[in-house]
Amino acid sequence: MHLRIDEREVEWTAMRAQGAGGQNVNKVSSAVQLRFDIHASSLPGPVKLRLAALRDARIGADGVVLIKAQSHRDQPRNKADALARLQALVDSVASPPRKRIPTKPTAGSQRRRIEAKQQRGALKAARSKLPE
């Protein structure tokens, strides 16, 4: 399932990038910060719940996703990068997780486990002092 994010629901803030880069870094606001309010978005209800429940440092306790993009030298590419990262985050929770079907261990695996335990016990018993 692929959900498209409406760009009108995203708030953008331009800022200067950090790190090396010479005059370009000091003069141009090429880095962008994306703010996306999960609860105010047009995403389906179950997707909102799964997205808000994600344990991700980019998602605040108030349900707002903050993504900072500064890897490119120009703002449009940083915007596209931030939007792609948000889309990947939404895509990761778009489909509900599959329900786990509990299984039982096979007879062979149970037999091998017991044999390994018996071998280990015999090895430990062989370390003990012999009776005189």
CB atoms within 10 A of CB 3: 16
pLDDT in tens, the chain (132 residues): 678 898 899 999 998 888 776 777 677 788 999 999 999 999 999 999 999 999 999 999 999 999 999 988 889 999 999 999 999 999 999 999 899 999 999 999 999 999 999 999 999 999 988 777
Distance CA 10, CA 86 (A): 10
The dihedral over CA atoms of 99, 39, 68, 9, expressed in degrees to the nearest 10, equals 120
Return d(Cα 36, Cα 28) in angstroms, integer: 24
Q: Which domains does the chain have, with CATH numbers?
A: 7-92 (3.30.160.20)
Is pTM beyond 0.85? Reply is no
